[in-house]
Amino acid sequence: MTRASSGASGGLRVTVTDGRGRPVPAKGLAGWLSGAAPRRARGQVSIALVSDATMRRLNRDFRRVDRPTDVLSFPAAEPGGRTRGPGDFLGDLAIATGVAGRQAREMGHSLQTELRILALHGLLHLLGYDHEADQGEMGRLEERLRRQAGLPTGLVARAPGRATLR
């Protein structure tokens, strides 16, 4: 694999690329997510840092919402647990860097912090959590992991009704 990835064998392995699949230096995002992930997170995750225009297209094509959003999750497992990708592949995340930058400024923290918040939120969706349908389980887990990692308010706490691709 030519992409930069991080994570111990058997744990979570994270690859970070740009919108064209080229490896990007993401200030330790891959290693950070591998360490901050819940223990049950095992396998490969790819994160694409994309433009707002690309995110708008993805959001329109997959959610029928014609505007960019911050993070979209594309799980490799279908509802019910059947895997669509290679054995240990959990799925893909797309993060819009422009949206992330604006949110970071609004929240008063760095882009790196916002990318971490978005990656953690997206990972939880890849693991099957759904804050729109559960009884607060995802929000509680996100809050606990966020606190352990020293991050400010997570996405579920910011906007409990936020919509994300599942």
The residues spanned by each domain of the chain are 5-152
In CATH, which superfamily holds the domain spanning 5-152?
A: Metalloproteases ("zincins"), catalytic domain (3.40.390.30)
- Cβ atoms within 10 Å of 61's Cβ, excluding its own: 10
- Cβ atoms within 10 Å of 1's Cβ, excluding its own: 8
pTM of the entire predicted model: 0.83
Per-residue pLDDT band for 1 (boundaries 50, 70, 90) equals very low
Place of tokens 């969706």: 125
Instruction: Answer with the residue of higher pLDDT: 121 or 136.
Output: 121
Give the pLDDT score at 152.
82
Rounded Cα distance between 72 and 77, Å, is 15
Give the pLDDT score at 74.
95
Per-residue pLDDT band for 8 (boundaries 50, 70, 90) equals very low
Residue 142: exposed, middle, or buried by beta-carbon count in 10 A (0-12, 13-18, 19+)? buried
Give the pLDDT score at 13.
92
pLDDT digits (tens, 9 = 90+) for 12-53: 999 999 988 899 876 689 999 999 999 889 899 999 999 999
